[in-house]
Structure 1
Amino acid sequence: MGVSNKWEPVVTNAAVNLRLAEINDLDALERIELSCFDSDRLSRRRMRYWIKAEHGILLVAETESEVLGYGLVILRRGSRSARLYSLAVLAKARGQNIAPALLIKLEEMVLSAEKLFIRLEVAEDNLAAIRMYKKLGYRKFGIYRQYYATGVDALRFQKPVLHPNMANAMKHYPWYKQTTAFTCGPSALMMAMKHVRGGTPLDQTTEIDIWRQATTVFMTSGHGGCHPLGLALAGHQRGFAVEVYSTQINDLFLDGVRSEHKKSIMRIVEKDFIERATNAQIPIYQREIELSEIETALNKGYGVICLISTYQFHGIKAPHWVVITHADDRCLYLHDPDGSEGFYDESGNRLDRSSHANIDEREDADLDYQHLPILKQDFGSLSVFGKTKLRTCLLVKPNE
């Protein structure tokens, strides 16, 4: 990408104007593309398409006499995320902070379109662009190997555009990254318990111990995930008062399991959970929790964990436990324990969490899984799983 080699505070030349691209800008946009990129260029036909497209924002920076640069953001259909597709500034105009100004204006427009994130790819050897993105609050969360025609890898960056407005208003909430692919439930419960009572340990021993107590034994593949009643029992055993809200109590997660033998084992485990939760007098409400009840619980300092489907995040339908940390007028905010999503090895395969030592600046990725903003109108479709439309949520309270 063509950007300034030195990032500075965003103070553009007063003579530079930012506006949406028009059809008569095509010649200028084509000149910029040819000047700034040796490969992976946008064609004139694609430029024309994005000028007209309703799901794209093509912004140009111009003086009275010339268009000097542009930025293109694609608004993903069916998602609250946007993608910075291209950003380019003519060499003669660099050093005037045009690239950062374009990006900041695009962020404002993305937020106005009710998108919550911007993601982008940048060549790993484009150090000037990487510095600029980091200065503007973007964090690396993954890598695409040999992404560009030149064979260069692309680093993946992300920024929650709503998050900076809330950063100062939100109090600290403990965050823990799950260490296996199947312990999102224990990790979410640990964060909630730590929030309610500070002495709760956040370590792998506790994580695995809770999983052993709460697992359904089997799932669609691999190790079993955690049943809401199993997690409630684990919290109860550790001295917390736990309430369970679930639209379904029996036969959870069975619709994705083909083996009748596995289903029979899961039913045995589930029956035991129900009996022990009943004996422990754990409140079980067989209904969906209301948003107002979640907000009331948060205001009282309770922990709130919820089962979601990961389809809207990753395009893969899987049950996943998260923590709801805060709420405001527009959004709920989530801590997602699966902080390694998006990292890939040399062959393009997703890295296992045991490979974290091989990931540079991995702490940057962790930031993108804390206080994840979700519009309230999206929470209903996010917090439902499976053919049975399961909705389940746990409130974790001090045991008074």
Structure 2
Amino acid sequence: MAANAEVVDLHDMQLRIAAIQDLDALERIELACFDNDRLSRRRMSYWIKADNGILVLAQKAAEVVGYGLVILRKGSRSARLYSLAVLPKARGYSIAPALLLKLEALALTEQRLFMRLEVAEDNLGAIKMYKKLGYRKFGIYRQYYETGADALRFQKAIQQTTMADNIGYYPWYKQTTEFTCGPSALMMAMKYLHKNTRFDQATEIDIWRHATTIFMTSGHGGCHPLGLALAARKRGFEVAVYSTQVNDLFVDGVRSEHKKSIMRIVEQDFIEKATEANVRVHKNEIQLSQIEKALAKGFAVICLISTYQFDGKKTPHWVAITHADDRCLYLHDPDGSEGFYNKTGTRLDGNSQSDAGESEDIDLDYQHLPILKEDFASLSVFGKSKLRTCLVIKSGKQKNESIREG
């Protein structure tokens, strides 16, 4: 039992942590609710005692009428809803959503930021409930169940949901190409500081042309922090660059010596132009406390991260940091709807018109994305050289206040 055994009263219903004496009731629910993929009595007993699970019961009067089981994987910030069941006679009393919301709250106390689940594609009632509670489809498992049915995968950022009312407006822009995360993050920051900043593809591509390193590990070049800083200065913003290095930022992933030499020429040009433009360059990493101080002063911050923790790929990716609280930093990720699939299992690209309403909903999951402060250090480092780089951006009207540590 990973969470504490608080009892919650909802009119004549109670929610409480399961105990070993509830095994008979749990077995009855399992038999009544499932024809396949049932949890055995032995497994139920295991999850009641396990430190990596949360098993909550719903009880009306003296009868246990439903349960929800969440699994907490070691080393992960996500929790997984493994099973949710309510006796047929007790349905219609909003017991299932109450159980799920309670499980989310308990998962948060265990430092989990996301809840994930699988649901049979033909279980329309459950899908409707999950969507109503803020869950968004992000993938599909083919022939997942014993019956051969596919499972739709849903996710919810539970910390993000909890903080939604406390986070102010911060504009979000979805990048239109796979190589323009830097311009998109910068556009969000500039729009936050100055509402008349243009939010369109022409601006996105124009910034990329001025900030690109020309080449990357594959495809078009990513954006150099000095290039982005120069693009912001060109548009009237003050910028401070924090970077553990300004040379050879991305050359490790490029095999061709010819391409590497061109990238170095581009970098040298950025360095010279940044000096001419009086861009402040701090050749050290920015501290977490400095990021928080900058946000508190109303400045904008964009940061280069590695996407490894998100998708298992070591790709440099620019994001905007929108907010900080006692536990988390919150990110606007411009690569919205990555991994979003339609009903046929086909990945939707950014320009797809199918399932447009659902795609717009999914985009919300890439706004104010919560990252525990203790995880930020490993997220915000890229490559063999351990590159760390951030830009602190101010409007021309903001005072040139320092965020340097005293």
TM-score by length of 1: 0.89
Q: Which runs of 5+ in 1 are unaligned?
A: 1-9
**Is 1:251–2:248 an aligned residue pair?**
yes
C-alpha displacement of 1:239: 1.6
Quote the residue 2:130 is aligned against: 133
Give the aligned residue type for 1:298.
L
Cα separation, partners in 2 of 1:242 and 1:271, compared to 1, 3 Å: same
Hey, what's the Cα distance between the residues in 2 that align with 1:362 and 1:106? 26
Shift in Å at residue 65 of structure 1?
5.1
Provide closer, same or farther for how the CA distance between residues 310 and 41 of structure 1 changes in structure 2, counting only shifts above 3 A. Answer: farther
Higher RCO structure (Cα 8 Å, ≥6 apart): 1
Pairs aligned (count): 390
Distance 2:342 2:93 in 1: 38
Q: Which amino acid aligns with 1:262?
A: K
**In structure 2, how many angstroms separate the alpha carbons of the residues matched to 1:361 and 1:129?**
17
Partner of 1:225: 222
Mapped partners of 1:48, 1:221: distance in 2? 51
1:30 Cα shift? Answer: 3.6
Secondary structure at 1:361 match in 2 = helix
User: Tell me, which stretches of 5 or more residues in structure 2 are unaligned?
Assistant: 1-7, 398-406
Among 9, 15, 19, the alignment partner of 2:16 is 19
Q: CA separation of 1:190/1:146 partners in 2, compared to 1, >3 Å: closer, same or farther?
A: farther
Residues 308 and 382 of structure 1 are in contact (CA less than 8 Å); yes or no, is this contact kept in structure 2?
Answer: yes
Q: Give 1:351 deviation, angstroms.
A: 3.6
Aligned to 2:4: none
Cα deviation code 1:310-336 (max 9, x no counterpart): 122222221111101111222211111
**Contact 1:141–1:364 (8 Å) recurs in 2:** no
Kept after mapping to 2: 8 A contact 1:11/1:97: no
Q: How far, CA to CA, are the matches of 2:351 and 2:111 in structure 1?
A: 36
Q: Does the alignment pair 1:320 with 2:317?
A: yes
Q: 1:305-316 counterparts in 2 under 5 A?
A: 305-316=302-313
Residue 57 of structure 1, CA deviation: 1.2
Q: Shift of the alpha carbon at 1:113?
A: 0.7
Q: Find the aligned partners of 1:318 and 1:108 in 2 and give their Cα distance.
A: 33
Q: Is the 8 A contact 2:139 2:345 kept in 1?
A: no
2:262 to 265, 275, 283: 265
Shift of 1:128: 2.0
Please say which of residues 279-288 and 352-361 is displaced more in the overlay.
352-361
How far is 1:178 from its partner? 0.9
Show CA shifts across 1:78-106 (max 9, x none): 23221212211111221232212211211
Deviation, structure 1 residue 367: 1.0
CA contact (8 A) 1:12 1:97 kept: no
Write out aligned runs for 1:1-400 (5 A): 12=10, 14=12, 16-63=13-60, 66-344=63-341, 348=345, 350-355=347-352, 357-400=354-397
> 1:305 Cα shift?
0.2
Task: Please give the alpha-carbon distance, in whole angstroms, between the structure 2 residues aligned to 1:358 and 1:138.
Answer: 16
* Length-normalised TM-score, structure 2: 0.88
Deviation string, structure 1 residues 136-181 (Cα, Å, up to 9, x no partner): 3333444445544445443333322223443222221110011111
CA deviations 1:251-297 (Å, max 9, x no partner) are 11222223323322222222221122122121110011122221222
CA distance in 1, matches of 2:134, 2:341: 22
- Segment of structure 1 superposing worse, 202-211 or 69-78: 69-78
**Which residue identity lines up with residue 340 of structure 1 in the other structure?**
S
SS of 1:167's equivalent? helix
**Equivalents in 1 of 2:113, 2:348: separation in Å?**
26
Structure 1 residues 100 and 11: alpha-carbon distance in aligned structure 2, compared to 1, 3 A threshold? farther
Structure 1 stretch displaced more, 161-170 or 217-226: 161-170
- Which letter does structure 2 place at the counterpart of 1:54? D
The answer to whether the Cα contact below 8 Å between 1:12 and 1:98 also exists between their aligned partners in 2 is no
> Does the residue aligned with 1:373 lie in a helix, a strand or coil?
strand
